[in-house]
């Protein structure tokens, strides 16, 4: 199960074990990716809090949380903004999942996933679906101004549920 749509050579491809990370979600709490093993994880990298396309994208994912949850998956949003920006943004936009701050050192996780945009200093708009073992099973990189929606993620999760664990 692979679809690396509009992806540059650097984006981590399906079949790759996702790099582990620990990122803060609040000043007091962090999330470690490997602690979520045993269930699918959806990583939603986005450029910035407060931008119109990012707001639309994260609202679409919030609206789809129950459908994503039917697959037992956890959704995590990741950008280079600070935890303080994330807290205000999440509350203002009623985002229903955790936002992680890839803030300092800036973009280190986005770089590991091959989607850091160094000219603009932000994470690219990318989606990764990881299986319960932490292997990337589907990924997609969109242009910064394009909301990729949630359909590809839901399709990838359905294929995981059906036992399709191929990555080619």
Residue 61 parent element (H or E): helix 52-63
Q: Which of 86, 16, 104 is nearest to 46 (CA)?
A: 86
Query: pTM of the full predicted structure?
Result: 0.92
CATH number for the domain spanning 89: value is 3.40.30.10
Per the structure, the count of domains in the chain is 1
Assigned domain for 168 exists: no
pLDDT in single tens digits along all 168 residues of the chain: 444 333 345 899 999 999 999 999 999 999 999 999 999 999 999 999 999 898 899 999 999 999 999 999 999 999 999 999 999 999 999 999 999 999 999 999 999 999 999 999 999 999 999 999 999 999 999 999 999 999 999 999 999 999 876 543
Q: Is residue 70 part of a domain?
A: yes
Q: Rounded to whole angstroms, how far apart are CA atoms 48 and 125? A: 10
Residue 32, in any domain of the structure = yes
Please report whether residue 167 resides in a domain.
no
**Residue 166: inside a domain:** no
In a domain, 37, yes or no: yes
Q: What is the DSSP letter of 80?
A: S
Please indicate whether residue 54 is annotated as part of the active site: yes
Catalytic option among 11, 41, 54, 75: 54
Domain that holds residue 131: 4-161
Is 95 inside a domain boundary?
yes
Q: Does residue 93 belong to any structural domain of this protein?
A: yes
């Amino acid at each position: 199960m692979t679809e690396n749509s509009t992806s540059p050579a650097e984006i981590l491809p399906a079949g790759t074990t996702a790099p582990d990370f620990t990122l803060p979600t609040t000043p007091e709490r962090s999330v470690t990716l490997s602690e979520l093993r045993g269930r699918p994880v959806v990583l939603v990298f986005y450029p910035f809090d407060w931008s119109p396309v990012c707001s639309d994208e994260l609202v679409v994912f919030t609206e789809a949380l129950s459908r994503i949850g039917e697959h037992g998956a956890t959704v995590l949003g990741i950008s280079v903004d600070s935890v303080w920006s994330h807290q205000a943004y999440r509350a203002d936009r009623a985002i229903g999942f955790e936002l992680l701050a890839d803030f300092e050192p800036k973009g280190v996780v986005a770089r590991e996933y091959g989607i850091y945009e160094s000219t603009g200093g932000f994470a690219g708009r990318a989606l990764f679906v990881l299986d319960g073992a932490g292997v990337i099973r589907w990924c997609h990189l969109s242009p910064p101004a394009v909301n990729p929606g949630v359909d590809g993620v839901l399709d990838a999760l359905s294929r995981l549920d059906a036992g399709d664990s191929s990555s080619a």
